[in-house]
Amino acid sequence: MIVLGIESTAHTFGVGVTKDKKILVNEKDTFTTKEGGMIPNEVREHHEKVKDKVLRRALRKAKVTIKDVDLISFSHAPGLAPALIVGRDFVETLAKKYNIPIIGVNHIVAHLEIGLATTKAKDPIFLFTSGANTQIIAHEGDYYRVFGEALSIAVGNALDKFGRNIGLGFPAGPKIELLAKEGKYVELPYKVKGMDVDFSGIVTKATQLYEKGVPKEDLCFSFQETCFAMLVEVTERALAHCEKKEVLLIGGVAANKRFSDMLDIMAKARKAKAYTVPFEYAGDQGAMIAYLGDVMYNSKNYKAPGVIDIDPRQRIDDIKTFWR
């Protein structure tokens, strides 16, 4: 079965193609800025502008035509409504024109499942860190359960906000990672509350220190060390509580080598195993959407819903994992 996966929950418009759950191509175009942050309407315009081009490129590279596609999967939740609408309208038009069934999948579940599909992790604690979300998740009794999360802003968003304040543009995470290599430690607020973490204070403090002349490099280094240490701490607690022996780092921030190394150090110390999703599948992309669409659609428990629409605020702990 050939599945087309369309991703448009946030900054990235992605098109993936899978054949019998094997990824053929993973094409994308990401909204970026030189200075400011991500503005929802500008993101919508970006997706409108690139969608046909990205689809054509994906089909060409996969050596298939739209008529070969058996199923269209799209990320219908959660995300920025203006961005989600572009994806929904796009797949509805394609589905009608070529008479192809549609399935809507949850974007976060797609991050989790592509992590399982591309690593050896079987039943891990998921450390999911992206632009909009930061959650510590485990699968228990037919649901993905959230054991801890960021209380105010997600870690990716914290990196992007701080980056914007010091003139790095969007997305800032990769640039902060580079600058951090030249930095030394300065103290920043470390806020862990039980199983939750809070990143709002650290953005304010680091920005103030920058304005007082503390070097960018030192702040980038310390920002990473502090945020990642907080997340590793709560992940360790989740491992102990759930009695699991694996941890899997997923989402856009999983591209950070230092983060993945810190998780590895913690895991080794408690004889657990740390996995990180391959770089290509860390950030938002369409391959994970196509893959999950195939898995769900071909599960014997799948029932087609009457209406398929966007759901900007859907939480993963409300979704029964009938395909597992």
Residues in touch with ligand AMP (CB under 6 A): 10, 130-131, 156, 159-160, 171-174, 177, 251-253, 255-256, 283-284
Please tell me whether residue 25 adopts helix, strand or coil conformation.
strand
d(CA 284, CA 269): 31
User: Is residue 224 a contact residue for Mg ion (CB under 5 A)?
Assistant: no
Binding-site residue total for Mg ion (CB under 5 A)?
2
Nearer to Mg ion, 222 or 260 (CB): 260
By a kind-dependent CB cut-off of 5 to 8 A, residue 108 interacts, out of Mg ion, ligand AMP, none, with none
The 134-140 sheet, strands edge to edge: 143-149, 134-140, 125-129, 246-250, 273-276
Please tell me whether residue 177 adopts helix, strand or coil conformation.
helix
Enter the tokens of residue 136. 């510590």
Enter the tokens of residue 8. 């448009």
Q: How far is CA 171 from CA 5, 164, 299, in A?
A: 23, 9, 36
- Smallest gap, in angstroms, from Cβ of residue 145 to ligand AMP? 20
Enter the tokens of residue 145. 């359960």
Enter the tokens of residue 172. 């800032």
Phi (first) and psi of residue 50, to 5 degrees: -100, -10
Interacting residues with Mg ion between 121 and 150 (CB under 5 A): 130
- Smallest gap, in angstroms, from Cβ of residue 241 to ligand AMP? 25
By a kind-dependent CB cut-off of 5 to 8 A, residue 173 interacts, out of Mg ion, ligand AMP, none, with ligand AMP
Nearer to Mg ion, 83 or 95 (CB): 83
Nearer to ligand AMP, 27 or 160 (CB): 160
Nearer to ligand AMP, 2 or 127 (CB): 127
∠ CA 268-271-274 to the nearest 5 degrees?
A: 55
Please tell me whether residue 33 adopts helix, strand or coil conformation.
strand
By a kind-dependent CB cut-off of 5 to 8 A, residue 255 interacts, out of Mg ion, ligand AMP, none, with ligand AMP
Nearer to ligand AMP, 113 or 160 (CB): 160
Residues 6+ apart with CB under 8 A from 96: none
- Binding residue for Mg ion (CB under 5 A) from 90, 284, 286, 310? 284
Burial of 192 (0-12, 13-18, 19+ CB in 10 A): middle
Interacting residues with Mg ion between 76 and 95 (CB under 5 A): none
- Smallest gap, in angstroms, from Cβ of residue 82 to Mg ion? 16
Nearer to Mg ion, 124 or 286 (CB): 286
Nearer to Mg ion, 128 or 147 (CB): 128
By a kind-dependent CB cut-off of 5 to 8 A, residue 78 interacts, out of Mg ion, ligand AMP, none, with none
CB-closest chain residue to ligand AMP:
252
Phi (first) and psi of residue 54, to 5 degrees: -65, -40
- In the complex, which residues of this chain contact Mg ion (CB under 5 A)? 130, 284
